[in-house]
């Protein structure tokens, strides 16, 4: 069993200034997930009549992209290619001090404690992260369209982005380019995505800039911290798509 000191960002609401608060926790099993450890802490806080720590979580199996914790200075903690819910306490040592903070970005304002508002991602998606398909009953079976395997694989890889925002959180510029480029790429690589390709990339980049995300300076931090390993190749592809669309438009 482990005894830990947690330094957790507490913020009552969006307008509160917020601060780091220390919480000692004991009897933590190395086999617990990180979120289960927070559940233990919250149970203790509730029993003491204190406000539990608010944090985002849903599937708890690395699929939904909801958990968004900056743990000991890294998005989703010290391990790579996992989300915070897939992180286990065996990644830490007895006696450790662990910092737990929300994603930090102007476009991800803190709602409460460790929960941030990521609706800016939703608005970027709404600006063009889709294909318009006629669903009148005569829709062509997508599997009937031959697609080069390399393109299909890269499109699938891009589509594995769960929109967790770790790319933004770990980028020194709070750039959302890895996320946006993944959403652009998953369609740009497929014939179904070609029809709206020009408008898609122009509108999504425009919305991304309007949300206040920073510029990409190609540090590669986003790729390293992405739980799904989304490649920087997607940003280059989005840049190509954007420049070509700008020339057309």
**φ and ψ of 74, to 5 deg:** -135, 140
- Nearest distance in Å: CB 235, another protein: 7
> Quick one: which of 37, 41, 90, 29 has its CA closest to 60?
37
For residues 30 and 78, which CB has a smaller minimum distance to another protein in the complex? 78
For residues 105 and 190, which CB has a smaller minimum distance to another protein in the complex? 105
- Nearest distance in Å: CB 99, another protein: 4
Contacts of 17 (CB under 8 A, 6+ apart): 11
For residues 37 and 105, which CB has a smaller minimum distance to another protein in the complex? 105
- Nearest distance in Å: CB 45, another protein: 20
For residues 30 and 73, which CB has a smaller minimum distance to another protein in the complex? 73
- Nearest distance in Å: CB 211, another protein: 9
Kindly provide the b/e burial profile for residues 66-85, where b requires at least 16 CB atoms within 10 angstroms of the residue's own CB: bbbbbbbebbbbebeebbbb
- Nearest distance in Å: CB 221, another protein: 4
- State how beta strands 74-75 and 97-102 pair: unpaired
Give 180: exposed, middle or buried? Use CB within 10 Å, 0-12, 13-18, 19+: buried
Summarize as ranges the residues that interact with another protein (CB under 8 A): 7, 9, 20, 70, 72-74, 78, 99, 101, 104-107, 170, 172-175, 177, 205-206, 208-209, 212-221, 224-225, 232-233, 235-243, 246-247, 249
Kindly provide the b/e burial profile for residues 92-107, where b requires at least 16 CB atoms within 10 angstroms of the residue's own CB: beeeeebbbbbbebeb
For residues 1 and 247, which CB has a smaller minimum distance to another protein in the complex? 247
Whole-angstrom CA distances from 118 to 46, 115, 123, 220 are: 27, 9, 9, 22
- Nearest distance in Å: CB 113, another protein: 14
For residues 109 and 193, which CB has a smaller minimum distance to another protein in the complex? 109
């Amino acid at each position: 069993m482990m005894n830990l000191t947690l330094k957790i960002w507490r913020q009552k609401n969006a307008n509160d200034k917020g601060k780091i608060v220390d919480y000692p926790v004991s009897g933590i099993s190395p086999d617990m997930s990180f979120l289960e450890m927070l559940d233990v802490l919250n149970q203790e806080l509730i029993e003491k009549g204190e406000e539990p720590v608010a944090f985002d979580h849903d599937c708890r199996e690395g699929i939904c992209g909801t958990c968004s914790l900056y743990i000991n200075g890294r998005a989703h903690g010290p391990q790579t290619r996992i989300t915070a819910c897939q992180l286990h306490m065996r990644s830490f040592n007895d006696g450790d001090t662990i910092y737990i903070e929300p994603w930090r970005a102007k476009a991800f304002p803190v709602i409460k404690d460790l929960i941030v508002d990521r609706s800016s991602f939703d608005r970027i998606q709404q600006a063009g992260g889709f294909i318009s398909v006629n669903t009148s009953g005569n829709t062509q079976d997508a599997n009937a369209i031959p697609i080069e395997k390399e393109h299909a694989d890269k499109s699938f890889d891009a589509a594995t982005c769960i929109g967790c925002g770790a790319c933004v959180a770990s980028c020194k510029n709070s750039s959302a380019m890895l996320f946006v480029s993944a959403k652009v790429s998953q369609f740009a690589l497929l014939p179904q995505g070609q029809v709206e390709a020009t408008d898609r990339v122009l509108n999504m980049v425009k919305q991304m800039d309007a949300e206040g995300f920073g510029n990409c300076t190609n540090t590669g931090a986003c790729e390293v911290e992405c739980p799904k390993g989304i490649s920087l190749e997607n940003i280059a592809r989005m840049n190509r798509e954007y420049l070509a669309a700008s020339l057309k438009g």
